A and B are shown apart, each in its own frame.
Chain A
C-alpha cells in the first residue's frame, strides 16, 4: 500500500457526517437563504449604484478609473500613455489591442512602442523593457471593485503582473454584483481557463510595520478603462 492509499484508508475509516447536517452548503444550481438575500440586496440597487460601488472600491484600493466610451477610449488612453512617458506597451493579440495600436498610430504617439504579443516574450524584455501591460476583463464585481481576467492564448498571464503600469479595459454592462452572484449565475466557463484572476488594485504590501506600500512585486499602478456605453 502506498501513501495515497494509507491516507485515504485512514480517512474513510474514521469518516463521520457533518456536525450540523441541517446546514447544507448547496452547490451552483442551489441557492441558500443567505445567498438569495445577498443577491436580492444587490438587485434592489440601481445600475448606477453598482457602478458607484465598483468605482469607489477601486479608488479605495489605489486604482484609477477612467470612464469613457467605445468610440473614444483608445484615443484617451493613447494620450494618457504619451503624457506618462510610457515607452513600451504590451497587449495580447485581440481586437481591443489592435484598436489601441491604431489609436497610438493616429495619435502619432511614436514614442510609445506598442505591440500585440503573438510569441513568447523573453523574460528579460518583459521584466526590464515593458513598462505597461494592457488587458481586457470579462467581468467586474461591484461589491469588491474586482476585475475578472481570463487568461489564455490572447491574454497572456504576465501582462497584468510584470509591467509597472497595468491597464485593464471593462464594459460597464459586464459589472455584476459580487463574486458570489457571478459564480451562482454560472458566468464562469464550465471548463475553467488555466489561469483566471480577480484583480482589485495595484500590487501592495503592509508587511513592514503595517505601513501600506504599492508596487510590492507587480504593478505599481492600475488604470481601469470603463466603457459606459458597452
Chain B
C-alpha cells in the first residue's frame, strides 16, 4: 500500500507518509509486546522481511567464506581465538583490576555497574556533572542492552545514534534487528520513505525523497556531521579492552566511532566486563577473526585504540574519558560451569548470519537486544528465562552457529543446557543448594520457569515406558492398533500446534519390534540385558 506512494516520488504527500510511518511504528511496538510465537509467525508471513534477511544472510555468509579460503588456517585461527578468550575469562577478575589500574594511570576514569539501571545512572551522573545536554552515540550493543537512550531521553538529554544503521533504526522508532547491521530488515525504498518523512537537516528542512544509496548516505552524513560538531558528549562501546596497556579498542568502518570518541569534550565508553583481554599481543588475532567473521573484511576501515584523554600539547581529543564496566548478569553467567563460554563472545554476528531460523524470522522476532543463536544464549541469562525462555525453541540444533563461531562457543550445547535449565526444578533441595554454594554457582535467572506439571508427568511417563518392556509393548501396540485415531477430529485439534505447518504423524501398522520378530531377528536382541528383563519374564 504505502510502497506505491513512495515509489512515485513526484506525488508524495508528506503528511500522509508521516502518518503511515506512525502507524507502522505503533504496529511495531505492539508486536514487540506480543508473545515470541506471534512475532515469529508475523515475521514469516512478511515477504519483504524474509527477502531482506535471506539476502543479507547469503551476502554475509558468502563474504565470510571468501575471506577464509583455507579451512585449516581458519580452524587454527579459531583455536587461537578460543584460547585467548578462555585465558581472558580464566583470569577475569585479576584482568579487570589490572585494566582499571592501567586505565586510571592513563587518566581514564573507571566505573563499575552491577545492573543496567546502575550503569544508566552512572552515565547520567557523568553527563549532568559536565552539563552535557546532547549526546552522540557510536555503535554499542551494551547500551542497547541497558536501554540507555530511553533513560537519558526521559531525563531531557538528546541521545543520537550515529552508526548509519542505528540512526535509521532510531529514526523509525525501532530496535536493531542484527548486531552488526542494525537496519538489515529495511530495504532501500523503506529507508527512502523514512528519511524523507522524518529526517531533518540542520536548518530544519525536509530531506528530499531519494532511493539512491549514495544520496541517502550523503543526506544522513550532513545531518550527523553537524551533530558531531556540536555534541556535548560521545558515548561508545568497546570491542576489546587491553588490561596490560589500559587501552580501549573500537572496530568500525564508518568513522562515527572515531567522531564520537574524538570530537566531543567528554567521551564515555561502556562495556560488558567480559570484553577484557590481557595483552596487546592478543588483539591482532581477535581483530582479524572479528572483521572476517562479521562482514568478510580482512580488516575494518578503522581500528581505533584509545589509551586516554588528550594530553597537554595535543590539539584535539576528549578532555575526559570514562569507562563504565557493566556486569548486568555476567558474573552469574561466569559462575555457571556449562554456560560460562557464553562470555567468550566477541559480538561478530556470524552465528546469526549462519542460523537458518534467524534467516527466516529475522532479528525482531526474538524481541531482545541480541537476536539469533548468541541472543538465545545471552538474553535468557541476562533478563531471565521467564521472560525470554520461549526463544530457546527457535532452534533446530543443526549446529551451523557453533561451526561458524570464531571463538568456538559451543552454542548448540548452551541452547540445550538452557532448555534443560528452563524446565529443571529450582535449587530447592538441600543437595543442589550445597553443591551450588560450594562452587559459588548461581542458578540461571528464572530456572524452572518453563516447567509445567503436565509436561514433567509426560516425560516421566516416557522414561517409565522406556524402562519397562511390558509397558513399552502395551504403548506401541496401542499406537499401532489405534493409528486410525490420529485421523480423528479430536486428535487433529490436539495435534494442531504441530500439524498446522507440518504433516500429521502417522504410526505404522506394525511396530519395528513386531516386524523384526516376524523376520526372525528376535533372537538377536534377546541378548540385550534390558530386553531380557522384560521379554523373558
A residues with a Cβ closer than 8 A to B are: 2-4, 6-8, 10-20, 23-28, 32, 34, 57, 61, 117, 119-121, 123-124, 126-127, 141, 143-146, 151-153, 156-158, 161, 178-180, 182-184, 188, 192-211, 213, 215-219
Contact = CB atoms under 8 A, between A and B. Distances in A.
A68 to B, nearest CB: 24
15 contacts: A8-B97, A11-B96, A14-B441, A14-B442, A15-B92, A20-B86, A25-B83, A144-B298, A152-B311, A157-B316, A194-B311, A197-B305, A206-B295, A209-B187, A210-B181
A201 B247 CA distance: 23
Interface in B204-246: 213-214, 216-218, 221, 224-226, 228-230, 245
Contacts of B442: 10, 14
Contact of B245 (A192, A216, A217): A192
B344 to A, nearest CB: 10
A10 B335 contact: yes
A153 B313 CA distance: 5
A168 B301 CA distance: 14
**Quick one: which of A10, A196, A207 has the most chain B CB within 10 A?**
A207
Nearest to B106: A194
A42 to B, nearest CB: 13
Contacts of A7: 96, 112, 114, 273, 325, 327, 331
Nearest to A57: B298
B217 A216 contact: yes
A140 to B, nearest CB: 12
What's the interface size class on B, roughly?
Answer: 35 or more
Given A10-B334, A16-B340, A120-B315, A161 B258 contact: yes
Contact of A34 (B80, B89, B278, B308): B80
B527 to A, nearest CB: 39
A192 B247 contact: yes
Given A127-B228, A218-B302, 4 more contacts: A10-B440, A209-B188, A216-B217, A217-B224
B441 A217 contact: no
A153 B165 CA distance: 34
A16 B343 CA distance: 14
A194 B314 contact: yes
B302 A20 contact: no
Interface of B: 52, 55-56, 59, 76-77, 79-80, 82-84, 86-87, 89-90, 92-93, 96-97, 106, 112-114, 118, 162-165, 168, 181-183, 186-188, 191, 213-214, 216-218, 221, 224-226, 228-230, 245, 247, 253-256, 258-259, 262-263, 273, 278-285, 287-288, 295, 298-311, 313-317, 325, 327, 331-332, 334-335, 337, 340-341, 439-442
Contacts of A183: 280-281, 283-284
Contacts of A6: 114
Nearest to B218: A215
Given A156-B314, A195-B306, A17 B90 contact: yes
Nearest to B107: A194
**Quick one: which of A6, A25, A151 has the most chain B CB within 10 A?**
A25
**Quick one: which of A32, A201, A208 has the most chain B CB within 10 A?**
A208
B317 A217 contact: no
B302 A16 contact: no
Contact of A156 (B83, B216, B315, B332): B315
Nearest to A218: B255
B440 A14 contact: yes
A34 B216 CA distance: 44
A194 B87 contact: no
B228 to A, nearest CB: 7
Nearest to A194: B308
B182 A207 contact: yes
B195 to A, nearest CB: 10
Contacts of B439: 14
B253 A25 contact: no
Contacts of B93: 8, 11-12, 15
Contacts of A204: 253-254, 301
A16 B90 contact: yes
Contact of A28 (B218, B259, B281, B287): B281
A119 B315 CA distance: 6
Contact of B254 (A20, A32, A218): A218
Contact of A161 (B247, B253, B262, B440): B262
Contacts of A206: 181, 253, 295
Contacts of B213: 208-209, 211, 213
Contacts of B216: 208, 213
Nearest to B325: A7
Contacts of B106: 194
B316 A203 contact: no
B89 A179 contact: no
B315 A24 contact: no
Nearest to A178: B284
A197 B303 contact: yes
A18 B311 contact: no
A194 to B, nearest CB: 4
Given A192-B305, A194-B314, A213-B214, A25 B340 contact: no
Given A4-B112, A10-B331, A218 B164 contact: no
B284 A205 contact: no
Give the 4 A-B residue pairs with the shortest CB-CB distance, closest first: A218-B255, A14-B335, A23-B83, A207-B165
Nearest to B97: A8
Contacts of A34: 76-77, 79-80
A146 B287 CA distance: 13
Given A127-B225, A195-B305, A211-B213, A179 B182 contact: no
Contacts of B96: 7-8, 11
B307 A32 contact: no
B362 to A, nearest CB: 14
Given A127-B225, A194-B311, A216 B254 contact: yes
A211 B188 contact: yes
A213 B229 CA distance: 22
**Quick one: which of A7, A127, A144, A153 has the most chain B CB within 10 A?**
A7
Contacts of A158: 262-263, 316
